[in-house]
Amino acid sequence: MAKNLEHSACTPIPTSGGGFNPNAELPYGLQLEHLSSAMQSFLDFLKFVNLELNRREISRLETMLMPANFSSIVSEFMTTTIPKYCSALVKNTYHNGYPDLVPIGMFPKDAIQYSNEGIEIKASRYLRGWQGHNPEDGWLMVFVFDCNRPRDTVPRSFRFVQVAGARLTKEDWIFSGRGATSRRTITASVTDRGYRKMMANWIYRDVPTSVA
């Protein structure tokens, strides 16, 4: 039974067809169908990887990696894949440049250390309290997901929970505190005002399939 549950959890839950918001405002020529295709590409990738890991009796990717590392994989995959479907955007080729996606042809070699033009991509398990390294002026898009962590004992499939995005200003961020003995990197968090901006422009929400 446990093996059957683990095998079933290798297949992510599909996105809800009716979960995309037709009234969402998207910048730089980005369309809902571009995001839908990129999200489906990630689900296909994760299924392929996890089924092969399962065949070799290795833990699924999301239970193998530290939670922050897996979140980084989700965000990097979306950053790389969205331009495959939206020809107006390209990945920022500047190492650790901001934002992650920039309008194609706007910057030499599509590389810029910092600009308020483009879209910063984040992935998170949390419905709010999203973080970045610094307060920034620019578009932020967050892909919220649910999946197992390494400590979980009951297998469950990966699913996208929601996507939200909006143009934020530096006033929509606040630096997160750090205890005197903490060694974690100082970060900035989206404020309640920034959160309301993003949720007013929600892009996707998981819609449970009704049972006939």
pLDDT tens profile 154-207: 999 999 999 999 999 999 999 865 544 444 566 899 999 999 999 999 999 997
pLDDT tens profile 105-130: 999 999 999 999 999 999 999 999 89
136 or 179, greater pLDDT: 136
91 φ/ψ angles, rounded to the nearest 5 degrees:
-70, 135
Domain 2-10+20-205 has CATH 2.40.420: no
Can you give the pLDDT at residue 207?
78
Q: Domain residues of the chain, as ranges?
A: 2-10+20-205
pLDDT tens profile 65-82: 999 999 999 999 999 999
The pTM score is: 0.92
Own/partner long-range contacts of 39-44 (Cβ < 8 Å, ≥24 apart): 39/15, 39/78, 39/143, 39/160, 39/163, 39/204, 40/14, 40/15, 41/77, 41/81, 41/84, 42/74, 42/77, 42/78, 42/81, 43/12, 43/14, 43/15, 43/158, 43/160
Find which of 3-7, 24-28, 185-189 is predicted with most confidence, using mean pLDDT: 24-28
Can you give the pLDDT at residue 133?
76
